[in-house]
């Protein structure tokens, strides 16, 4: 059974998955200390492409899975893309990306609604210039869909059509899910089952629930119980779309700082 910790009242609250899929809350300082002490390991299933190519390893492989369902209007879509883009433009974030033992990461953008679309394929970042170029791509990416909130299908697409094509092996693989609603497609297998398959294969799924709209009061708990999973998994809620950039930067800081 899942156990849920008490959510802190400040806007910096982070839910963390520990001991399987139990959840507790922690301060940002405690999170950084804890995550810097841990190691996330990529299992062979997601590393095979890199091994076959004989390429060097990267520190992190990150999939940004962004909700573009019907509730995401043009303004909200722009706020999400701008928040991600500015995160990669941040010199402090760039320094952290490049401070790992391999000084590099791969990142991809998936937009999801009724279907999932690989909007930006695997992109290698080995310099501040690479990060700025990726930020520019993010902020000029066209929107692909605007229908239902089919997160289970999106995670299946990431599992089957994105992670297996990672160009090189990575020390850690992370799927970063953001959205403003729970899955409403009732697909089989459900979100939990696909998440567990990804975790079994070596991925960590982190979450950024956007607490605005009809599901704002319950979405954080739903993400905690049904979306995040894997070693040191956590979520950072955004208190509305205008808060997305802050939440993305905070979550990215924790994700990339982990060694």
Give the tens place of pLDDT for each residue, 71-97: 999 999 999 999 999 999 999 999 999
Predicted confidence band at 5 (pLDDT cuts at 50, 70, 90)?
very low
Q: Which domains does the chain have, with CATH numbers?
A: 26-257 (3.40.50.410)
Looking at the predicted structure, is the pLDDT value of residue 173 above 80?
yes
Distance in angstroms (rounded) separating the CA atoms of residues 225 and 74: 29
DSSP 150: -
What are 63's strand-pairing partners? Answer: 108, 175
3-state secondary structure 7-39: CCCCCCCEEEEECCCEEEEECHHHHHHHHHCCC
Predicted confidence band at 187 (pLDDT cuts at 50, 70, 90)?
confident
Contact 150, 115 (CB under 8 A): yes
Average pLDDT, rounded, for the chain: 81
DSSP 232: T
Closest residue by Cα to residue 104 from 50, 32, 29, 43: 50
Closest residue by Cα to residue 72 from 142, 149, 141: 149
Q: Is the dihedral of CA 19, 25, 29, 30 positive or negative?
A: negative
Question: Which pair of tokens denotes residue 243?
Answer: 């808060």
More confident residue, 136 or 54: 136
What are 125's strand-pairing partners? Answer: 105
Looking at the predicted structure, is the pLDDT value of residue 240 above 50?
yes
Looking at the predicted structure, is the pLDDT value of residue 8 above 90?
no
pTM, two decimal places: 0.79
- Report pLDDT for 123: 97
């Amino acid at each position: 059974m899942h156990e849920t910790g008490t959510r802190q009242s400040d806007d910096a609250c982070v839910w963390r998955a520990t001991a399987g899929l139990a959840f507790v809350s922690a301060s940002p300082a405690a999170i950084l200390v804890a995550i810097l002490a841990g190691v996330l390991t990529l299992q062979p299933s997601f590393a095979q492409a890199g091994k076959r190519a004989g390429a060097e390893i990267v520190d992190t492989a990150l999939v940004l899975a962004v909700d573009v369902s019907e509730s995401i209007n043009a303004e909200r879509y722009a706020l999400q893309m701008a928040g991600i883009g500015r995160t990669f433009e941040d010199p402090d974030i760039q320094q952290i990306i490049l401070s790992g033992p391999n000084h590099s990461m791969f990142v991809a953008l998936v937009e999801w609604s009724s279907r999932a679309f690989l909007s930006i394929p695997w992109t290698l970042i080995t310099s501040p210039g690479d990060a700025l170029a990726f930020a520019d791509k993010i902020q000029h990416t066209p929107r692909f869909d605007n229908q239902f909130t089919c997160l289970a299908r999106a995670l299946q697409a990431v599992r089957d059509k994105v992670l297996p094509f990672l160009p090189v092996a990575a020390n850690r693989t992370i799927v970063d899910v953001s959205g403003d609603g729970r899955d409403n497609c009732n697909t089989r297998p459900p979100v939990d089952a696909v998440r567990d398959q990804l975790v079994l294969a070596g991925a960590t799924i982190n979450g950024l629930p956007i607490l605005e709209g009809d599901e704002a009061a319950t979405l954080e708990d739903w993400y905690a119980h049904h979306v995040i999973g894997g070693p040191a998994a956590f979520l950072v809620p955004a208190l509305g779309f205008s808060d997305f950039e802050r939440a993305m930067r905070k979550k990215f800081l924790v994700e990339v700082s982990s060694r």
